[in-house]
C-alpha cells in the first residue's frame, strides 16, 4: 500500500497556492508538486538500508519558478527541440517562440513545467490535469493533458494522456535528473549504464538530429552492454551524452534502460511505451544553482532518461509520428523501478 498525503508548498506570485504530494511505499518516498507536476524528491534505500534522495531539485518553490534546467518537471507541449521552431500541418505553417539557440526547446517560453496543474488523489498516487489553450506558445488546438504518478512498491509509473481540438505536435516526458549516489554527489562517473537501442540519432551543432538513423555498432553509442560512465565520458565522449536512442515503435511496454551504482547497490530500471529515450548527462550544469540542502550541481553530476518521441520528429518523415489529431488519445507510460543489488 502506498500512503498519499499533501501539504502547502508556497504560493505563486499571483497568489495561487501550490500543493506538494508525498507518495510513500515500503521502499520509496517521493514528492511531487502541482506546479509543473514536478518531482522534487525521490528517496530510496541503498544495499545497507540507508536512505538518500536521488533526484536534483530545490528546497522551495522560488527555485522552480525561476529559470532552471527543468529539474523533475513534466515537459510539454513538445519535449526537446523543434528546428527553428517551425513546422507545418495540412499546409499551414507554424512558428514557435525560439528559446534555445535557433530552436524551440521543451515547449517554449512558458512550457508545461511552469503551469499550475489541478491535482486529484488516485489509488496509490496523484493525477494532475491542465488545459493548454489553442495557440498557446504557438501550438494549434486546445489540449487537455493528464499526468498520473502511481507508486507501487519499488516501481513508479508515470502515465501521460492528452486530447486535442486541432491536430498538434505533442511529446510529453519527465525531466528528472538522477544521481544514484544521492543528489549533490559531484559526478556520475561511477554509474554503469545500458540502453537497449540498436540505433541513435546523430545531431548537428545546435543539437537537432541530422535525420540519419545511425547504427550504434562500433560507436561510443553502443550501450547494449553496460558501460561505466567514467571511462566512457572521461576518455571518449568528453562532453557527455545528449542524444536520442531509438526504441521500438510498438507502443508496447518494453525495457529500455538500466543504471547501476555499484558503491551503493542502487539499481534503476526503466521501461516505456515510447519510441525514444533522450539520454542526457547534465552537460550544461555548471554548479551555479543552489540546490536542495545547500547542494551544488556541477557538470555531469546527474543523468536524465527522458522517454519520449524523437527530437524534431514533427519535421522528419522517417521519424515516429509526432501528431495528435482530434478524436485520438495520446497515451504513454514510463515505469521506473528502484531496487538494490549486492
Positions in the binding site for ligand BGC (CB under 6 A): 69-70, 80, 106, 207, 242, 278, 280, 284, 306
Is 132 in contact with 140 (CB distance < 8 Å)?
no
Give 29 or 274: the residue with its C-beta nearer to ligand BGC. Answer: 274
Give 65 or 207: the residue with its C-beta nearer to ligand BGC. Answer: 207
Q: Is 63 helix (H, G, I), strand (E, B) or coil?
A: helix
Phi-psi region of 90 (alpha: psi -120 to 50; beta: other; left: phi over 0): left
Residue among 106, 175, 261, 332 flagged as catalytic: 175
b vs e for 169-189, b when ≥16 Cβ sit within 10 Å of the residue's Cβ? Answer: bbbbbbbbbbbbbbbbbebbe
Is 170 in contact with 164 (CB distance < 8 Å)?
yes
CB of 23 to ligand BGC, least distance (A): 24
Is 39 in contact with 32 (CB distance < 8 Å)?
yes
Cell 505536435 belongs to 169
Phi, psi values for residue 65, rounded to 5°: -75, -40
* Separation of alpha carbons 332 and 113, rounded Å: 18
Give 80 or 168: the residue with its C-beta nearer to ligand BGC. Answer: 80
Q: Is the dihedral of CA 111, 132, 55, 83 positive or negative?
A: negative
Q: Give catalytic status of residue 306 as yes or no.
A: yes
CB of 50 to ligand BGC, least distance (A): 30
CB of 8 to ligand BGC, least distance (A): 28
Residue among 154, 269, 271, 306 flagged as catalytic: 306
Give 125 or 276: the residue with its C-beta nearer to ligand BGC. Answer: 276
Cα 320 to the chain's mean position, in Å? 18
CB of 145 to ligand BGC, least distance (A): 19
CB of 153 to ligand BGC, least distance (A): 29
Q: Is 334 helix (H, G, I), strand (E, B) or coil?
A: strand
CB of 264 to ligand BGC, least distance (A): 25
Give 279 or 335: the residue with its C-beta nearer to ligand BGC. Answer: 279
In the numeric block, which cell numbers belong to residue 261? 551504482
In the numeric block, which cell numbers belong to residue 5? 498525503
Cell 491542465 belongs to 130
Cell 557538470 belongs to 299
Give 192 or 242: the residue with its C-beta nearer to ligand BGC. Answer: 242
Q: Give catalytic status of residue 293 as yes or no.
A: no
The catalytic residues are: 175, 306
Amino acid at each position: 500500500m502506498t500512503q498519499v498525503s499533501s501539504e502547502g508548498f508556497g504560493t505563486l506570485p499571483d497568489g495561487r497556492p501550490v500543493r506538494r504530494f508525498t507518495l510513500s511505499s515500503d521502499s520509496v518516498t517521493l514528492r511531487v508538486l502541482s506546479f509543473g507536476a514536478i518531482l522534487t524528491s525521490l528517496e530510496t534505500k541503498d544495499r545497507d538500508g540507508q536512505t538518500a534522495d536521488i533526484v536534483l531539485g530545490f528546497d522551495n518553490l522560488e527555485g522552480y519558478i525561476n529559470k532552471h534546467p527543468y529539474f523533475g518537471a513534466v515537459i510539454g507541449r513538445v519535449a526537446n527541440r523543434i528546428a527553428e521552431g517551425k513546422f507545418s500541418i495540412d499546409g499551414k505553417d507554424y512558428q514557435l517562440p525560439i528559446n534555445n539557440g535557433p530552436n524551440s526547446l521543451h515547449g517554449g517560453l512558458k512550457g508545461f513545467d511552469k503551469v499550475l496543474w489541478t491535482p486529484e488523489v488516485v489509488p496509490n498516487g496523484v493525477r494532475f490535469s491542465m488545459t493548454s489553450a489553442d495557440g498557446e506558445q504557438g501550438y494549434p488546438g486546445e489540449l487537455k493533458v493528464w499526468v498520473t504518478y502511481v507508486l507501487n512498491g519499488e516501481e513508479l509509473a508515470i502515465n501521460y494522456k492528452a486530447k486535442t481540438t486541432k491536430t498538434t505536435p505533442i511529446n510529453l516526458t519527465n525531466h528528472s535528473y538522477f544521481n544514484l549516489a544521492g543528489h549533490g554527489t559531484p559526478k556520475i562517473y561511477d554509474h554503469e549504464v545500458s540502453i537497449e537501442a540498436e540505433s541513435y540519432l546523430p545531431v548537428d551543432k545546435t543539437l537537432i538530429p541530422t535525420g540519419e538513423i545511425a547504427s550504434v555498432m562500433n560507436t561510443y553509442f553502443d550501450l547494449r552492454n553496460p558501460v561505466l560512465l567514467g571511462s566512457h565520458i572521461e576518455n571518449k565522449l568528453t562532453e557527455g551524452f545528449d542524444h536520442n536512442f531509438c526504441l521500438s515503435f510498438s507502443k508496447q511496454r518494453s525495457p529500455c534502460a538500466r543504471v547501476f551504482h555499484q558503491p551503493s547497490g542502487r539499481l534503476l530500471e526503466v521501461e516505456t511505451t515510447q519510441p525514444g529515450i533522450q539520454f542526457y548527462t547534465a552537460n550544461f550544469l555548471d554548479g551555479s544553482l543552489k540546490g536542495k540542502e545547500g547542494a551544488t550541481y556541477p557538470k555531469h553530476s546527474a543523468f536524465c532518461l527522458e522517454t519520449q518521441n524523437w527530437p524534431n520528429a514533427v519535421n522528419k518523415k522517417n521519424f515516429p509520428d509526432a501528431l495528435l489529431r482530434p478524436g485520438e488519445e495520446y497515451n504513454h507510460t514510463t515505469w521506473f523501478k528502484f531496487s538494490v543489488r549486492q
